[in-house]
Amino acid sequence: MSDQTLPGTEWVDCTNFLSNVCSNMGVGEMLHHPTKFSLMEVMSVIEMMDPKMDTSYKTPRVRSVTERFIDGTLPSFEQLSMKQVLYTMDMLISAELQWYDGLSLPQTVFTCLYLMDDLCYVGEPSPEKPKSNIFILFTKMLFKRIDYLIETISRVDCKTEEEFVNSSFGLFTIRSLEGTDNLQEDVQEMIQHIESNQQDYQGHAQDLIDRLLFQQAFFRSREAVLFVDQDILSDALTYTKSCKELFQLIKKSHADMFGNEQEQVDQSDGQQDDPTRINIAFDHKITTRLSSAAVIKAVKLAPLTKTAHILDSFLDHMIFICRGAQQLYGADLDHILRFFVSFSKLDHLNVVSRCTLMYIAIQNEQAFGTDMKQLVAQHIQSHLPMMNNNHQDILKSCLRMDPAPLQKTNKNVQDILDEEDAVLTCQQWVDLMCNVIFNYMNALCSNPANTRRKFSHLIIEWGMIEQKAEQLDLWCIEELRILKRTSSDFTISGHEHLFAFTYYCIEHTCALCQSYLLIGFELQLYHKTEIHHVLWYLDYICGLRSQNMTKMLQRLPTDQDLKMMQSQLAQLTPGGKKKKKNKIKNLPPVLTVPTETTPLQKIKKKLIEVDTYISRGLYRFALATLIGKNENGFENIFDDGTLPNMNPLLRFNKRFQCFHLISQPPPISYDQYKSYMEHSYKDATPSDLLNVASENLNYSRQVMEDVLLYHKMNQNELLDTHQLQSIKDMIKMIQANMISITLTSMKMNSKTNQSATFEFQLCPQYPVIKLTK
Amino acid sequence: MGIPTKNLTTSGSIEQDKKIIQSWVNKHMRVNISDGRVFSGRFICVDNLKNVILTDAVEYKKINDEEDDKRRIGLVMLPGEHILSTWIEQPKKL
């Protein structure tokens, strides 16, 4: 140990001195630097003698790889049997998969002793060392792939530090990557050599070839992802499929060779001195020898039999991404976002799959090769048939699609915005939307908890975008010549289309609010005493969304529409009496007419309706169970002994905090909610509520069945797999709730002291409510 | 161990002694703990239970009489109850 001190200094024993001073200090008193000592530092400290943090605590000393070579417990790579070589390769594949799952490289791949010190324990390639040559080639492809993966993931921002550790802690060096330019040729040569010298490989030549080809295909698919464009994606898809096939062969051969020995392998882990055990190349405790600022805990690695499912899922995700992405180049924004949502619902997503999609999708501020501004403009065009000429012109001007100046019809413009400001505001508006859509995609590529957190930020961003939209709409109003189509009978004034941009923004904000609340159910975040708050808010948001969508899907009346309305009006007034302007008796002012909706738009509207009626029904059901519990009615329904310190006002406002930072949809405070409840349900009995709940749930089920029928009529192209599954889950959930409502009505009559439980097994998005003891 | 042994004595005033300890911040300190390991690092903090925090800490674990296993750890807290001895790097007094 180094006893060296700085020149002119010496070590002084301060044991007793320190003990005396500390014993005279007050409880909690500390002596430290007055300014450079913060809570952050204290929380980062590693506590010694604590088994969870101290990796050296009460553990026997782990010998270095050099010591093991010298004393012969670790044989040279050439001395390994073929089974040991194959097991090492399989274990490296398994280790890499566990790296995908959140462990670090030193805890996984670099627990392979032969990888230490730049493969010096394997040696340089040489014709006399066939096994070493194969292993060097195998690991070169592994290292290169790791490098590509780290490069891909570091370029996107949809992972947390806990999910993926991209640091190699100095174990990954440039030397490991030397000579990787001709890997494909090297692999071909190696395979030919193996095939020509099969006798050297003790009957395992084909197993070696499969593993080399697998590694090559895996490496090539990763390389294709890194240098992605639409054409290269087809290569990525081909290599990934090839990987999948080869992996099935590897799994089979692994099971045949090591199936019976797996138990022995697990038990032999501690026997470091046995050079014949098949997992000789791995020691997870070697990690503890690493010098590192962060604690790297030794973790026993799982064998390939237990991690194979990670690779199967990962390859499936890659195939899904490559296949889907190929079709999204040139697609519209709806399709792109739908793909992202479908991807986010896949099972067993890991951080690598999610980052891969984000990386492939977004390159140079383009989504699948199309400029985001263009996608947004097209989306607005297709979703706002109600835009008037001014809306169209300003959009085109700000996107420089039509360089002609805005056609002003009214020179007396009030100074809300002048023309240049309007274009600038529109540019800012579109830029903000592009940014928020990128962030939305990013959120969908994050883990569910992070997705929810990002959604809360996006809701606030949409709030700001909606304010800009209102500014633009007001400008358009000032410029707009009120649409006056005079006839001998009536005048129409159009108002609805004045707020086209605002409605567009409100739709997106409401959709995000809805998703934000539903994710909370999937994560089971809500306490049982606040689920009915969430259901009520969901009902409120869905209702607003539905109304907003109806307004959006309107268009200005054409001349033909006007003629038709004129003839209808003439039929109402047979005397042909002239009507006063702006006053139409027996016929409300015709503002706009419903537009022809596309099948996708129809389905979307129906699905919003489904959500509205489900949340409405479940809310009433939940409320019925709560009222039934307390004879005092509403007074104590928020009281819960498990949360004594959180009063309902705080809990409600905290739960819907992000909604209070936007103006549309109008946020609801706890007092407003309570007053609504007291006004609407003051005299409601549990059985009234249960009846209404039943009706709402029944209606939503009918709508869902209509949706499924409509989907079938449209050649099964309107809903994707996850949406179909989601609808089926919701139907099951509704059926279960209907039964529960019937049972609850019977229990309510007996006035037993029971409380509601909320179960999410049937449907992750909505609970089945049951009354239990 | 072969290091010079010089003991620090109290000044008689607790406040004065506390200031002395305060002056040790960022100075080199060595701590022996009960399982035989030695930690060497820069002193950051101590509390009334004699828990010591060192930064840039290096852990030395004895392999044999001549050799130690060395490992760089970083920011560590050494529990007071396990501390056997502490040594502070001080200027040599002429």
Give the model confidence (pLDDT) of A727-752 as tens digits.
Answer: 899 999 999 999 999 988 887 665 55
Q: Compute the mean pLDDT over every residue in chain A, rounded to the nearest whole number.
A: 80
* Residue B42 maps to a domain: yes
* Residue B94 maps to a domain: no
pLDDT of residue A640 exceeding 80, the answer is: no
* Residue B59 maps to a domain: yes
Question: What mean pLDDT comes out for the span A354-374?
Answer: 90
Measured between CB atoms, which of A1, A10, A20 is closest to B90?
A10
Chain B residues near residue A294 by CB distance under 8 angstroms: 74
Residue A269 is predicted with a pLDDT of 53
Residue A646 is predicted with a pLDDT of 64
Concatenate the DSSP letters of all residues of A394-460 into one string. Answer: HHHHHTTS--SPP--S-S---TT--HHHHHHHHHHHHHHHHHHHHHHHHHHTS-HHHHHHHHHHHHH
Measured between CB atoms, which of A10, A14, A56 is closest to B59?
A56
Residue A590 is predicted with a pLDDT of 45
Residue A102 is predicted with a pLDDT of 87
Token couple for A215: 């590694």
* Cβ <8 Å between B7 and A26: no
Give the model confidence (pLDDT) of A376-398 as tens digits.
Answer: 988 888 877 767 677 777 777 77
- Rounded to 5°, the CA angle A42-A48-A52 comes to 95
pLDDT of residue A576 exceeding 60, the answer is: no
Residue A674 is predicted with a pLDDT of 86
Residue A458 is predicted with a pLDDT of 94
Domain that holds residue B8: 2-89
pLDDT of residue A573 exceeding 60, the answer is: no
Measured between CB atoms, which of B49, B68, B77 is closest to A47?
B77
Residue A737 is predicted with a pLDDT of 94
- Residue B49 CA to residue B38 CA, distance in Å, equals 19
Q: Which of A384-388, A433-437, A515-519, A574-578 has the lowest mean pLDDT?
A: A574-578
Question: What mean pLDDT comes out for the span A299-326?
Answer: 91
CA distance B50 to chain A (A): 6
CATH assignment of the domain containing B28 = 2.30.30.100
H/E/C letters for each residue in A377-391?
HHHHHHHCCCCCHHH
* Cβ <8 Å between B78 and A48: yes
* Most A-contacting residue of B88, B89, B94 (CB-CB within 10 A), to test interface: B88
Residue in chain A nearest B72 by alpha carbon: A291
- Structure confidence at residue A493 as a pLDDT band (50, 70, 90): very low
Residue B92 is predicted with a pLDDT of 79
Residue A278 is predicted with a pLDDT of 85
Residue A510 is predicted with a pLDDT of 93
* Most A-contacting residue of B43, B46, B59, B65 (CB-CB within 10 A), to test interface: B46
Q: Report chain B's C-alpha Rg in angstroms.
A: 14
Measured between CB atoms, which of B3, B82, B90 is closest to A3?
B3
Residue A413 is predicted with a pLDDT of 38
Percent of chain A with pLDDT over 90: 28
Give the model confidence (pLDDT) of A649-672 as tens digits.
Answer: 888 888 999 999 888 889 999 889
Residue A340 is predicted with a pLDDT of 93
Question: What mean pLDDT comes out for the span A219-224?
Answer: 90
Residue B29 is predicted with a pLDDT of 94
Residue A435 is predicted with a pLDDT of 92
For the CA atoms of A596, A597, A599, A600, what is the dihedral angle to 10 degrees? 160
- Residue predicted with more confidence, A309 or A678: A309
Residue A635 is predicted with a pLDDT of 38
Give the model confidence (pLDDT) of A25-57 as tens digits.
Answer: 999 899 987 777 777 777 888 899 988 788 777
Q: Which of A311, A91, A85, A78 is nearest to A207 (CA)?
A: A85
**A106 touches A287 (CB < 8 A):** yes
Question: What mean pLDDT comes out for the span B42-59?
Answer: 92
Residue A357 is predicted with a pLDDT of 94
Token couple for A575: 């005397």
pLDDT of residue A86 exceeding 90, the answer is: yes
* Cβ <8 Å between B92 and A8: yes
- Residue predicted with more confidence, A699 or A388: A699
Give the model confidence (pLDDT) of A457-472 as tens digits.
Answer: 999 999 999 988 888 8
Residue B87 is predicted with a pLDDT of 94
Give the model confidence (pLDDT) of A245-297 as tens digits.
Answer: 999 999 999 999 888 666 666 655 555 567 778 888 898 888 777 766 566 77
Residue A272 is predicted with a pLDDT of 58
- Residue predicted with more confidence, A511 or A551: A511
Residue A315 is predicted with a pLDDT of 95
Chain B residues near residue A6 by CB distance under 8 angstroms: 28, 89
Residue A489 is predicted with a pLDDT of 32
pLDDT of residue A593 exceeding 70, the answer is: no
CA distance A146 to chain B (A): 26
Which range, A206-215, A422-431, A755-764, B63-72, has the best average confidence (pLDDT)? Answer: A206-215
Chain A residues near residue B34 by CB distance under 8 angstroms: 49
- How many structural domains does chain B have? 1
* Cβ <8 Å between B86 and A18: yes
Residue A515 is predicted with a pLDDT of 92
Residue A256 CB-density burial (10 A; 0-12 exposed, 13-18 middle, 19+ buried): exposed
Question: What mean pLDDT comes out for the span A351-380?
Answer: 90
Q: Which of A261, A103, A173 is nearest to A94 (CA)?
A: A103
Percent of chain A with pLDDT over 70: 79
pTM: 0.79
Concatenate the DSSP letters of all residues of A241-252 into one string. Answer: HHHHHHHHHHHH
Residue A753 is predicted with a pLDDT of 56
Residue in chain A nearest B68 by alpha carbon: A1
Residue A632 is predicted with a pLDDT of 39
- Structure confidence at residue A318 as a pLDDT band (50, 70, 90): very high
Q: Which of A473-487, A695-709, B71-85 has the lowest mean pLDDT?
A: A473-487
Give the model confidence (pLDDT) of A425-448 as tens digits.
Answer: 888 888 899 999 999 999 999 998
Chain A residues near residue B64 by CB distance under 8 angstroms: none
Residue A93 is predicted with a pLDDT of 95
Residue A754 is predicted with a pLDDT of 64
pLDDT of residue A638 exceeding 80, the answer is: no
Give the model confidence (pLDDT) of A672-682 as tens digits.
Answer: 988 888 888 77
Other CB atoms within a 10 A radius of the CB of residue A90 amount to 24
Residue in chain A nearest B49 by alpha carbon: A22
Residue in chain A nearest B62 by alpha carbon: A1
- Residue B2 CA to residue A421 CA, distance in Å, equals 80
Chain B residues near residue A48 by CB distance under 8 angstroms: 33, 37, 39, 76-79, 82
Question: What mean pLDDT comes out for the span A704-733?
Answer: 86
pLDDT of residue A718 exceeding 80, the answer is: no
* Cβ <8 Å between B92 and A10: yes
Question: What mean pLDDT comes out for the span A707-716?
Answer: 85
Q: Which residue has the tokens 């529990």?
A: B79
- Structure confidence at residue A91 as a pLDDT band (50, 70, 90): very high
Which range, A212-216, A411-415, A576-580, A627-631, has the best average confidence (pLDDT)? Answer: A212-216
pLDDT of residue A335 exceeding 90, the answer is: no
Using a CB cutoff of 8 Å and minimum separation of 24, what contacts does A426-429 make?
A: A426/A394, A426/A395, A426/A397, A426/A398, A426/A472, A427/A398, A427/A399, A428/A468, A429/A398, A429/A465, A429/A468, A429/A469, A429/A472, A429/A501
Q: Which of A45, A48, A43 is nearest to A58 (CA)?
A: A48
Measured between CB atoms, which of A12, A19, A290 is closest to B90?
A12
Q: Which of A57-66, A324-333, A439-448, A725-734 has the lowest mean pLDDT?
A: A57-66
